[in-house]
Chains A and B, each alone.
Chain A
Amino acid sequence: MEYFVQQLINGLTLGSIYGLIAIGYTMVYGIIGMINFAHGDIFMISSFIALAVFLILTSVLGFAFLPVVLLIVLLVAMLFTSAWGWTVERLAYRPLRGSFRLAPLITAIGMSILLQNFVRVTQGARVKPLPPQIQGGIPLMDGMTDAGPIVVQISYMQLIIIVTTVVLMTVFSLIIAKTSLGRAQRACEQDRKMAALLGVNVDRTISLTFVMGAALAAVAGLMFLLLYGVIDFYIGFLAGVKAFTAAVLGGIGSLPGAMLGGLLIGLIEVFWAGYFSVEYKDVAAFSILAIVLIFLPSGLLGKPEVEKV
C-alpha cells in the first residue's frame, strides 16, 4: 500500500510534466491540423534557457533567495521560449500554410533536427548538471515492504510541480473557455474561413497558440531541470514522443485529454518501472496507447464530429 502511494505520487509528478508538454501538441494540432514535431525540442531549449538564467542569477549576479530566483527563472524562460515558438512558426510553418498537408509535417521534423543540433553545437553534447536546489519533503506515512521499512513522502519538488501544473491548467482552461482570445482560437480550430469572416486575424491567433504552447513547455522545461538535475540536447526527443503519445491517448485536439493523457502515461511508466521492470516502461506506455487506439480511435476524450449540414 505504502509503496503504491509513493509510486502514485511519483507518477503524478512525471505525468504533470508530460501533460504540460502535451498541451502544446494538442493545441497546435487542433488549430492547424499539424503535428509540431519540433515542440519537444522547444521544451529542451527551454530547459537550457532556464539553466542559463539560473546560473546567471546565482553565480554572476549573486542572488541567493531561491523562491525569487526560481520565479524569475520561470518568467524569463517562458518569455524566451515563447519567442522561440513564435519564430519557428513564423519562419518554418506560416509560409507553408495552404501547401499540401505533408509539407509542414516534414518541415517540423527538419526544425526538430535543426534545434537539436543548434544546441549541440553551441552548448556541447555533454550533459549539463544542476545540483539539487529543493530538498526535503513532507512525510505522509510509514510502512513495511518486503525490502524493508519505507517512508512515503511527497518531496517539496514534487509538490511544487503538481501545484504549479494544477494552477496553470486552471488558468489556461479559463483562458480558452472564457476570453475572447480563447474563443477566437476555438473558432479558428472549427472553421478558419468563418473566423476570418468574423474579423479574426487567423495568422495572429495561430501565432499566439504557438506562443502559449511554448510557454507551457517552458514551465515543463524548468521542472524537468530541477527534478532530474541533468539536461542535454537530446532530452526533447523522448519527452516529446511521450508527450505526443499522451496527447494522442487523451484525444488529440482536446485540452483536458492532453492533461489526462499526460498523467496516464506518467503513471503507467512509473508503475510499470516500480512493479515490473524499468527496461520495459516505455514499451508499456506505448502498448497502452496502441490498445486504447484500437478501441477508441479518437482517444479517451477525443470528440467525434457532431455536425449537421
Chain B
Amino acid sequence: MTTGSEDLLLSVRGVETYYGKIVALRGVDLDVRRGEIVTLIGANGAGKSTLMMTICGDPRARAGTITYDGRDITGMPTHEIMRLGIAQSPEGRRIFPRMTVLENLKMGAQLVAPEHFEGDLKRIYDLFPRLKERAAQRGGTLSGGEQQMLAIARALMSRPKLLLLDEPSLGLAPLIVKQIFEVIRELNRTEGLTVFLVEQNAFHALKLAHRGYVMVNGNITMSGTGAELLKREEVRAAYLEGGRH
C-alpha cells in the first residue's frame, strides 16, 4: 500500500476558505495518494467538513490550489469536479428524502454508462443487504444507519477513484459503525479504492487509516501514520481519552 509521492491522487496546497468574512481554513496542506485511506480528525467546527466541501468546489477556495489526478480543479464548478471521479458522502448524509432507495442509487450512477448499472447495483446490495430490503422505500423514512449506508452506497455507484466520507459514524450505533468501517476497509483492500475520511471518532478512524491529519481551528497541526498518531500524547489527550464521546 505504500506508494511513491509521484502517485498523488489529491493534493491540497495552502488552501484558504471563507464564509463571507469568517475564515474557515487558514492555509491547509494535505495529500492523498492512490490506494490510501487518509483520515482527517479534529473537534467540532475545526473546518473538516469545510475542507471536504472545498475540494468539491462549494465553497470555492479563496487562495491556494487543489490538484486532483494531475489536474488543477481549484476553480472548477462542483458538477464538473465530481465528473472527474470524485464522490462524496457528505455531512448530514443528504439523502433525497422523497426518492426511493433505488432512485437515490440511480442518482449516484447517473454519470456511469447504463450497462454497468445492474452489476454495480448487485455489488452494492451484497455490501449492504439492508438496502436491498428497503429498495422501494422512500429515503426520508430510513433510519439513520440505513441512510448512512445509502449515502455511502450512492457515492460508490458513481464508480469513484476517490471516495470522500464525511463522518460516516455520526450518530450511529457502535455495531453499525463497525460494519461501515469494515466495508470501507474491504473496498480499499480488494479494489484499491482511495478514501479520504473525515471523522470525530478518532480512535476508529486512525485504526482504519494508513495516514492521518489533525485539524485545529482551520489549520493542520499534526500528521503521520495512523499508528503514530494513535500513540501521540496530544492526540490521545485531545481526541481519545478526554475527548471521546
Residues of chain A having any CB pair with chain B under 8 Å? 180, 183-184, 186-187, 190-191, 193-202, 303, 305-309
Contacts and interface: CB of A to CB of B under 8 A. Distances in A.
B94 A199 contact: no
Closest 7 CB pairs of A and B: A194-B94, A196-B78, A199-B82, A306-B140, A199-B111, A190-B96, A307-B97
B106 A183 contact: yes
A197 B78 contact: yes
B201 interface: no
Contacts of B82: 196-199
Given A198-B82, A198-B154, A202-B79, A184 B110 contact: yes
A247 to B, nearest CB: 18
B144 A308 contact: yes
A197 B96 CA distance: 12
A306 B107 contact: no
B143 interface: yes
Contacts of B110: 180, 183-184, 198-200
A308 B96 contact: no
B38 to A, nearest CB: 20
B111 A306 contact: no
A308 B142 contact: yes
B90 interface: yes
B96 A306 contact: no
B50 interface: no
A49 B244 CA distance: 68
A199 B79 contact: yes
B98 interface: yes
B74 interface: no
B136 to A, nearest CB: 14
B96 A191 contact: yes
A309 B99 CA distance: 16
B158 interface: yes
Nearest to A193: B58
Contact of B79 (A186, A200, A308): A200
A183 B103 contact: yes
B92 interface: yes
Contacts of B97: 190, 305-308
B141 interface: yes
A184 B110 CA distance: 9
A198 B158 contact: yes
Contact of A187 (B107, B141, B142): B107
